[in-house]
A and B are shown apart, each in its own frame.
Chain A
């Protein structure tokens, strides 16, 4: 992969991480609101979904690292 393609892939992955973070933030506030109002039903599913989102973010981070390393290896000296 060339440098431009690598940067595009990394930017796309970062945008996806940011999007997942927004969802996770909303989930946390909604769960806290439910907990404080005495409703415990959504707490376990929300924790599960938040965990899946975290795993997704971590996977994207590994993807970014791999792309970054590939680009650095194949990059031509300036």
Chain B
């Protein structure tokens, strides 16, 4: 709608005869278009993750001696790092001839888990996430996934880490 210019109005308001309220008005159709574009953006994000996953190189783990059998008693633990020095892991000797090892990073917020011998479970002190010693599965708390398992093999008196099972 064109407004009639009066003497009190400046020249610019005649040239740009748009009401301030109308300028800020967003119609339902415009808003729904914005929502659909947001949905498209998130779909593109999903596709981006899919493409990144296709081109992700497979991790090759090197074998690394991590402990001597004689140095861990039954029910005792040994901390080590695998595959990189920054990747802390925890090994537990659960029986005379049975060893298990897991990543020490809690799958919730990466706090270090520790072995609670009396309850026979791995515990995260930050948010009371508990993990099973037998397979690393979540027993309670906020962790969304089991602890990554370090695959071990025995060669003589050595325990050797050969890979990580997510």
Binding site for B on A (CB under 8 A): 7, 10-11, 13-14, 17-18, 20-21, 24-25, 27-28, 31-33, 35, 37-40, 43-44, 46-47, 50-51, 53-54, 57-58, 60-61, 64-65, 68
Contact = CB atoms under 8 A, between A and B. Distances in A.
B166 A43 contact: no
Contacts, number: 85
A44 B36 CA distance: 22
Given A27-B46, A37-B145, A61-B35, 4 more contacts: A17-B39, A24-B43, A28-B45, A40-B56
A61 B32 contact: yes
A11 B27 CA distance: 12
Interface string B13-56: 00000000000000011011101101110110111011011001
A61 B45 contact: no
Contacts of B32: 10, 13-14, 17, 60-61, 64
A65 to B, nearest CB: 7
A70 to B, nearest CB: 13
Interface of A is mostly: helix
A37 B28 CA distance: 40
Contacts of B145: 37, 39
Contacts of B28: 7, 10-11, 14, 64, 68
- Central interface residue in A38, A51, A57, by most chain B CB within 10 Å: A57
A55 to B, nearest CB: 9
